[in-house]
Amino acid sequence: MLGRFTEIESGGRNDRTVLDKAPTLARLTGEILMIAKLDRLWRDAAFLLTLQARGARFLACDMPEANDLTVGIMALVAQQKREAISRRTKEALAAAKARGVKLGNPNGAAALRRAGQGGAALRSAVSHNADVFAAGLAPVIAAIQAEGHTTLRAIADKLNAQAILTRRGRRWHVSNVRNLLKRVERLDPTD
């Protein structure tokens, strides 16, 4: 075995950097690219057939007897499956939204921590957005503290009384204020 590649991106995406490395190595070395399931390799028939035409050899563990014809047919079936999944997902989300369901990830940062290495860019974007929010709220916090409201509870109560919502659109609690103050302190280079 020359290498092991684990792709975590969707089969419908065209920018799968890990997947780009695997067939290139297989083609350069003349080795066989082994994949767990053929329909997980790619759900775009054109890509799979181009990969095959370039001379990359692969073996699908779920279909070890697959030949060029079978691979071509399965690629078309996988693409159709991807399109059907996409259509059903869009329809289900539209129906849920019409019923008033709030879409999105309610776990926010916890989900990002679970995302691990694959979510680095997303974590960076969320952290940047939190920094921007904290920087914008810093003068408000300073004014509240200047009025003599210095405890976390007092600051939270004052923010709620002024109808200022958290970054996620909720009421302030002690833990939100504590996290905000830490972020503001980290952003302030004069401290």
Q: What's this model's pTM, rounded to 2 decimal places?
A: 0.40
pLDDT confidence of residue 168: 82
Q: Which segment of 36-45, 87-96, 141-150 scores lowest on mean pLDDT?
A: 36-45
Average pLDDT over residues 119-132: 78
Of the ranges 1-10, 44-53, 115-124, which one carries the lowest mean pLDDT score? Answer: 1-10
pLDDT score of 8: 53
For the cut 60, the answer to whether the pLDDT of residue 57 exceeds it is: yes
Segment 16-30 shows an average pLDDT of 68
pLDDT recorded at residue 74:
76
So what's the pLDDT on residue 13? 53
Query: 71 or 41, which is more confident?
Result: 71
- Confidence class of residue 50 from pLDDT cuts 50, 70 and 90? confident
d(CA 129, CA 126): 5
State pLDDT tens for residues 71-123.
778 778 877 887 888 899 999 989 988 998 877 766 666 666 666 655 676 77
Q: What is the pLDDT of residue 19?
A: 64
Beta carbons within 8 Å of 57's beta carbon, 6+ residues apart: 26, 31, 32, 33
Type of residue at 82? R
Its sign, for the CA torsion 159, 160, 166, 172, is positive
* Residue 173 phi, psi dihedral angles, 5° rounding: -130, 170
Give residue limits of the domains in the chain.
17-98, 109-187
58-60 and 33-35 as β-strands: parallel, antiparallel, unpaired? parallel
